[in-house]
Structure 1
Amino acid sequence: MKREKPDKGPAYSAIAARLQAEIASGLYPPGTALPTQRDLATQLGVNVSTILRAYQELQARGLVMGKKRLGTIVASQSFSPPETAAGTAELADLTYNSPPVSDFILAYAAELARIGSDPRFKEVENYSSLNGSLWARAAGCQWMAEAGFATTPDRVVVTSGAQHGLFTALATFIKPGDVVMTDRLTYFGLRALAATLQFSLLCVDSDEQGLIPDAIEALCRNHRMAALFVVPTLHNPTAKTLDAERRARIASLAQTFDFIVVEDDVYSLLAENGLRPISSMCPERAFYITTASKALAPSLCLGYLVAPADHIGIAAESARLTGSMSTPVSALIMSRWIEDGTARRLLEANRREVNKRQVMVAEVFSGLDYQSAPYSMFLWLRLPQPWRALDFAASCRRRGVKILPSPDFAADNKEIEQAIRINISGSITMERLRQALETIRSLCEDRPRAVHGSV
């Protein structure tokens, strides 16, 4: 059936709604496969990541499931999620990592009234240089120095966020057929980029402390590796943090086996654990990525990418070729805030609020098997038997709570732990968050049930 590209609202949401209607109509009976993500993306003229997000939405609703070698299969008991018990109650969406404090919007409004007097403001009407204005890159260096990474403006590209930074880094050096190492549970955007840039993912074993350096070395001795993607602080989704010894070992392995470290370090300023980024130990073999979105607000759409000296020119060109030039006004506002201390003040407010929410999590989830940290915006909850993550997510959704199940983060088809990622920040109130957490807690203490009807 020919589909037209949706033109209203988020593309992934419209695509998911249309597929749900087609499943309900019988176009895709239970047990049949949906089109592959790549085929549907080509048909609709959208990114593969958009289709991935739409399929994840259908999984969360219990409409489909992922099957090894078979693709995305329509579930045998597909259903449309009903309204919550209150009838019109708002869905508690615990899937997004964003700062919880509203101080940002007040500071932003005040800054807009003052910014016109800044001599740099006249530059915002023009395109910036390939890698961003010098003053924006200098401010980025100051911001990254607080995370323990010292660099210079000539090594920095100002991006429109961490995802743009990740795409830019990989597009700089990756070739079709290359192999990139990553955790078995990893950032789902990396999988979409693997399909887009045509590289393969090879998973590295982890333990309770994160990536195991010996496992990286074993892979490198048997395969030619182009890169390692790593989130060293508050790993997404498991909230693990690599210690200083493992970071140093990874930096050493990158030099020994000649692979690039792509370090996604967006949470380090929230954690403030004093650990040096891996990139600071092997700067000529590493791309370092950070953003203002996690520390301050997603709407800034601003990030910083540090590239090795012999890659910076291509990285700047790659950033511009994507059409995702950083917003000049956001770059100027962030630069002013870094310079006058506003960024630090907003960061501290978010840290305090996240910590307060973590205290509540410890109270509500006492006795449950979860992993997090005092200043983490999310947690990783391992589910009790016999719960399966996709079933649990569907049950949560029917009770008005939206979370992400572990299969959404799987980088290969091997068995993974049955767990869910729960975000505790964002605009949700403390009261509503507590209600959502208590709903999740009660499900953990219950048993899996049929989606509808009797067991």
Structure 2
Amino acid sequence: MTNWLPDLSAGEGPLYLKLAQSIEAAIDSGALPPGEKLPAQRNLAFDIGVTLGTVSRAYALVHERGLVAGEVGRGTYVRERKAHTDTPTGGIRSLAGTQPFEAPVGKLRFDATGAPHVGQAAVIEAILTKVAADHPTEISDYTRSAPGHWQEAGALWMARAGWTPETEGIVVTQGAHAAIVSVVTAVTAPGDRILFENLTYSQVARALSLMGRRILAGETDAQGLVPDDFERICQQQHPAVVFLMPTLQNPTLAAMDRARRETIANLARRYNVLVIEDDIYGVLLNDTQPMLASLAPERTFVISGLSKSVSPGVRGGWVSCPPHFAARVKIAHKMLTGGTAFLLAECAARLVLSGEAKAIRTRVVAELQARETLARAIFEGHTFRSLPQIPFLWLQLPEPWLSGTFKAAAFDAGVLIDGEDEFKAGRSDKVHHRARIAFSNHGSDDIRRGFQLLRNVLDGGVAGYDSAS
């Protein structure tokens, strides 16, 4: 056993965190090599003058990080650390286990759909500076009330296709995801069933599953949710809420025509199902089909925000609620998120009310159109769905590619993409042999290079991909 003792003068935070950081640094430097036994917790606590609880918490933390292994009766030992060629940290992963929080070194991210960089940083910087100057007290305190112009901005941004939400029904949120989860929390209880399309924005389905809601998946076609299957599920499973993206479905790019929307709205009314209409991509399109909220206003919540069209980092989001639901959703949002950040909400409102958000959206759409044109040229000969204003395409994989195998081959080639499993609301035996290629990140050179790398993988076929043994 080594005579190593930690240096608690470095690092930040409470003592247990400093101790954990010191242990990790010693492992990284080799001062604590693989197989080395750490000091007994009680002895170390005495030697460095801290409580036994402090040492126990630090040891638990480095154990969670996979740096050490504890054996009852034998002590705590430094684990052998595997070499990683892609990233020094081995890729910290999300709860879903499908996406790293940051791209590994040398990899291009084609798995994110936030608004591309079109110079919005300078505009946002100017607005944030002005907000700080105008509201020094508000940005240094908790947000205790929402100024009326925050709701006005939401109503202005969400108005579309002849539909304008009532300002008093608008709730300001920390982005679209928080809006969706807040609505479901406000109108359902644990154990209630929430219906999604079988391919959907699955992260919200997973979040709701963690909160005790039961997830259902409905069959889809080229227009989204199939009405007959919706009715069957309503009769047999009695969902409380259905989550839909009728204008632009992620990842399939399905879109409902007027007749389909009317049928879905009538079924929701007949079976008393509340509707969440996710319109986050709708603001990028000039779609003239009626909103579900105009067909079933008494039961439809509309979700929108700035992430796809202006800037995901602003976290600007709004939900338009049916009459008498806004107060419940607002309280649920506060309980779930801790409350709206004044700085971000004020920034989002000023972006919209000043017209800057609309101007940025115009530049974003132009950039996406150029990238989609490039995608069409490079992937010519392969089958996929895309739209000029939308930051992804839905690629049909040729034989004998499987979605997971193609995703792994793309990763080996240097590109992160999303396979179809990333979008499944739950376990499913249905196989689509598809992958989503998103292209809102990176500059034009990286976009072209990423597309070409993926085209090379497709053309090489499975025979050109040797999976790790």
Per the normalisation by structure 1, the TM-score is: 0.78
Partner of 2:126: 110
| CA distance in 2: counterparts of 1:381 and 1:356, whole angstroms | 18
1:102 maps to a residue whose letter is V
Q: Deviations over 1:326-358 (max 9, x none)?
A: 221222222222222111100100000001111
2:220 maps to a residue whose letter is S
- Contact preservation (8 Å) 1:251, 1:281: yes
Aligned partner (choices 355, 358, 369) of residue 383 of structure 2: 369
Write out aligned runs for 1:339-358 (5 A). Answer: 339-358=353-372
Are the structure 2 counterparts of residues 121 and 133 from structure 1 closer, same or farther at C-alpha, using a change threshold of 3 Å? farther
Partner of 2:98: 56
1:446 maps to a residue whose letter is G
Write out aligned runs for 1:363-442 (5 A). Answer: 363-411=377-425, 412-426=427-441, 428-442=442-456
Are the structure 2 counterparts of residues 237 and 21 from structure 1 closer, same or farther at C-alpha, using a change threshold of 3 Å? farther
- Contact preservation (8 Å) 2:178, 2:337: no
2:116 maps to a residue whose letter is P
1:360 counterpart = 2:402: no
Partner of 2:332: 318
Are the structure 2 counterparts of residues 436 and 20 from structure 1 closer, same or farther at C-alpha, using a change threshold of 3 Å? farther
Runs of 4+ in 1 over 3 A off after TM superposition: 17-22, 112-118, 120-130, 146-149
| CA distance in 1: counterparts of 2:268 and 2:166, whole angstroms | 22
Partner of 1:75: none
Q: Deviations over 1:115-156 (max 9, x none)?
A: 4565x77644443356x3211011111111146541222211
3-state SS of the aligned residue for 1:445?
A: helix
Give the CA deviation at 1:413. 2.1
- Contact preservation (8 Å) 2:176, 2:318: yes
Give the CA deviation at 1:209. 2.3
- Contact preservation (8 Å) 2:111, 2:417: yes
Give the CA deviation at 1:20. 12
96-105 or 214-223, which deviates more:
214-223
3-state SS of the aligned residue for 1:284?
A: coil
| CA distance in 1: counterparts of 2:144 and 2:270, whole angstroms | 35
Give the CA deviation at 1:435. 1.3
| CA distance in 2: counterparts of 1:96 and 1:297, whole angstroms | 12
1:169 counterpart = 2:183: yes
Q: Kindly, what percent of the aligned residue pairs are identical?
A: 25
Q: Deviations over 1:18-71 (max 9, x none)?
A: 67999xx899xxxxxxxxxxxxxxxxxxxxx9421xx2148x9xxxxxxxxxxx
1:265 counterpart = 2:279: yes
Aligned partner (choices 74, 96, 103) of residue 112 of structure 2: 96
Please identify the structure whose Cα radius of gyration is greater. 2
How many aligned residue pairs are there? 389
| CA distance in 1: counterparts of 2:308 and 2:343, whole angstroms | 19
| CA distance in 2: counterparts of 1:311 and 1:190, whole angstroms | 20
Partner of 2:467: 451
2:449 maps to a residue whose letter is Q
Show structure 1 runs of 5+ residues with no match: 9-13, 28-48, 61-80
Aligned partner (choices 333, 341, 345) of residue 347 of structure 2: 333
| CA distance in 2: counterparts of 1:268 and 1:364, whole angstroms | 27
| CA distance in 2: counterparts of 1:190 and 1:21, whole angstroms | 34
| CA distance in 1: counterparts of 2:296 and 2:68, whole angstroms | 51
3-state SS of the aligned residue for 1:290?
A: strand
Are the structure 2 counterparts of residues 20 and 399 from structure 1 closer, same or farther at C-alpha, using a change threshold of 3 Å? farther
| CA distance in 2: counterparts of 1:204 and 1:395, whole angstroms | 30
3-state SS of the aligned residue for 1:229?
A: strand
| CA distance in 1: counterparts of 2:336 and 2:411, whole angstroms | 35
Alignment RMSD (CA, Å): 3.0
227-236 or 332-341, which deviates more:
332-341
Partner of 1:33: none
| CA distance in 2: counterparts of 1:101 and 1:276, whole angstroms | 31
Aligned partner (choices 183, 186, 194) of residue 197 of structure 2: 183
- Contact preservation (8 Å) 2:197, 2:219: yes
374-383 or 217-226, which deviates more:
217-226
Show structure 2 runs of 5+ residues with no match: 1-16, 25-60, 70-78, 82-92
Higher relative contact order (CA 8 A, sep 6+): 1
Are the structure 2 counterparts of residues 134 and 121 from structure 1 closer, same or farther at C-alpha, using a change threshold of 3 Å? farther
1:278 maps to a residue whose letter is L
3-state SS of the aligned residue for 2:216?
A: strand
- Contact preservation (8 Å) 2:304, 2:318: yes
- Contact preservation (8 Å) 1:371, 1:380: yes
| CA distance in 2: counterparts of 1:338 and 1:189, whole angstroms | 27
Partner of 1:70: none
Partner of 1:309: 323
3-state SS of the aligned residue for 1:332?
A: helix
Q: Deviations over 1:177-226 (max 9, x none)?
A: 22121111111212322322212222211112222222212222233121
Partner of 1:71: none
Are the structure 2 counterparts of residues 294 and 104 from structure 1 closer, same or farther at C-alpha, using a change threshold of 3 Å? same
1:110 maps to a residue whose letter is A
| CA distance in 2: counterparts of 1:170 and 1:267, whole angstroms | 20
- Contact preservation (8 Å) 1:204, 1:216: yes
1:93 maps to a residue whose letter is R
| CA distance in 2: counterparts of 1:147 and 1:112, whole angstroms | 31
| CA distance in 2: counterparts of 1:204 and 1:106, whole angstroms | 43
| CA distance in 1: counterparts of 2:99 and 2:207, whole angstroms | 19
| CA distance in 2: counterparts of 1:135 and 1:252, whole angstroms | 34
| CA distance in 2: counterparts of 1:229 and 1:318, whole angstroms | 18
| CA distance in 1: counterparts of 2:395 and 2:216, whole angstroms | 25
Aligned partner (choices 213, 218, 227) of residue 232 of structure 2: 218
Are the structure 2 counterparts of residues 404 and 228 from structure 1 closer, same or farther at C-alpha, using a change threshold of 3 Å? same
3-state SS of the aligned residue for 1:283?
A: coil
